Amino acid sequence: DVVLTQTPVSLLISLGGQASISCRSSQSLVHSNGNTYLHWYLQKPGQSPQLLIYQVSNRFSGIPDRFSGSGSGTDFTLKISRVEPEDLGDYYCLQSTHFPRTFGGGTKLELK
Amino acid sequence: EVQLVESGGGLVQPGRSLKLSCVASGFTFSNYGMNWIRQAPGKGLEWVAYISSGSSYIYYAETVKGRFTISRDNAKNTLYLQMTSLRSEDTALYYCARRWELDYWGQGVMVTVSS
């Protein structure tokens, strides 16, 4: 199975600051069709996860441009600029290139 | 507006069965693959199962293979998860979600396995 190693486990950020989360895969996430199915989610307290970024770098509908994704192959990053209170919660990466699908362990974003 | 609404959860004894449902609206259900994902209390997300739009392709996590069955009824816009031989470690909030990207999620339904 593909293992996604997400770091850091927790992140203390000041409002207006920048956060960066890494997601490293144990194998390439490039699908045979050429696409890379690595996605990012935010789970706010008491809520269902919501899709932020799909296929590495595409912002989902309604997601502000403060969120950006980058990377390739096995190494991926989510950046959040100008952190706002509504950005707090648990962030997860997911790979859907291979079965079984696997999630990273999560990163908790908290205010400093 | 895309909506996914799960139901069927509850308290069940170890070894017993339970069937979850996920009713979809706001999109053409028969065009999309669907997933079940779960989250144990205080833990991270775990993908459980996937079914393609026409039910031709079905995949499971090793932790549930042989015990859980994913299915769908496109005429009823409904996704199912039949869970048998339940264990305490299956206790979790179960979500349904759409597509490979898991672009839309339901609100989740709680399953508690305990004697």
Nearest one of A6, A24, A20, A7 to A87, comparing CA atoms:
A20
Strand partners, A93: A40
Determine the pLDDT at residue B54: 96
Query: What are the mean pLDDT values of chain A's consecutive 10-residue runs (112 residues total)?
Result: 98 96 98 98 98 98 98 98 96 98 98 88
Share of chain A above pLDDT 70, in %: 100
Cα–Cα dist A48/A34, whole Å: 30
Residues 6+ apart with CB under 8 A from A99: B50, B59
Contacts of B110 in chain A (CB under 8 A): none
Q: Do A51 and B103 touch (CB under 8 A)?
A: yes
> A with B: how many residue pairs have Cβ under 8 Å apart?
54
Contacts of B50 in chain A (CB under 8 A): 99, 101
The size of chain A, in residues, is 112
Q: Are strands B92-98 and B34-39 parallel, antiparallel or unpaired?
A: antiparallel
Chain A touched by B58 (CB under 8 Å)? no
Find the closest chain B residue to A100 by CA distance: B61
Chain A touched by B27 (CB under 8 Å)? no
Contacts of A104 in chain B (CB under 8 A): 44
Q: Do B47 and A103 touch (CB under 8 A)?
A: yes
In tens digits, chain B (115 residues) has pLDDT values of 999 999 999 999 999 999 999 999 999 999 999 999 999 999 999 999 999 999 999 999 999 999 999 999 999 999 999 999 999 999 999 999 999 999 999 999 999 999 9
Contact A109, A91 (CB under 8 A): yes
